[in-house]
Amino acid sequence: MDDDALLIRINAIRVLGFHQDEPETPVGEKEQYTVNVTLQVPHNRDENRVRIILDVSMRRSEDPASPVVLSIKTVMEFEFKDDTFLVTDKEGIERVRPEIQDQLVPIAYSTTRGILFTRVGLSGLSKLLLPLLDTRILTKGHSHMPSD
């Protein structure tokens, strides 16, 4: 094995919150809906851990005042063999290396997508899927969060 390899393992996958409102009429296959996803990436240097926290909400309308019909908040915790997953930026703030974050976020996003799919099952919201997307959209302009 390469001595410079970045060894990593998944410590935990948790659902911190889940909400589902059964609609009066099922969501149609072609129906448009609005998805909001927020991302947090805290780290802990002492324990060599990074958490990817995703908070997802879905509405059947673009109107932000419309009710959320489906939401989920997940956290995935990753542990590294050492602190090489961190970098100090030009302001002197320790952050998760962007290239590491850009690898972890898609893992967390696709896991959240799968959890959501299994939780919704055969309900009237079964057509509400977390869309496939390039997760760099989530990290673009995202300040790589310092430790918690």
pLDDT digits (tens, 9 = 90+) for 11-63: 999 999 999 887 766 666 667 788 899 999 999 999 999 999 999 998 877 78
Other C-beta atoms lying within 10 Å of the C-beta of residue 135? 22
Q: Which domains does the chain show, CATH number per domain?
A: 8-139 (3.10.420.10)
**Strands 43-44, 68-80: pairing kind:** unpaired
- Those residues with Cβ within 8 angstroms of residue 74's Cβ, 6 or more apart along the chain or in another chain: 13, 14, 15, 16, 53, 54, 108, 111, 112, 115
Q: Is the pTM of this model over 0.85?
A: no
Give the CA-trace dihedral at 68, 110, 51, 139, to 10 degrees.
-80
Residue 55 in tokens = 């908070």
| Span 75-123, pLDDT tens digits | 999 999 988 899 998 999 999 999 999 999 999 999 999 999 888 876 7
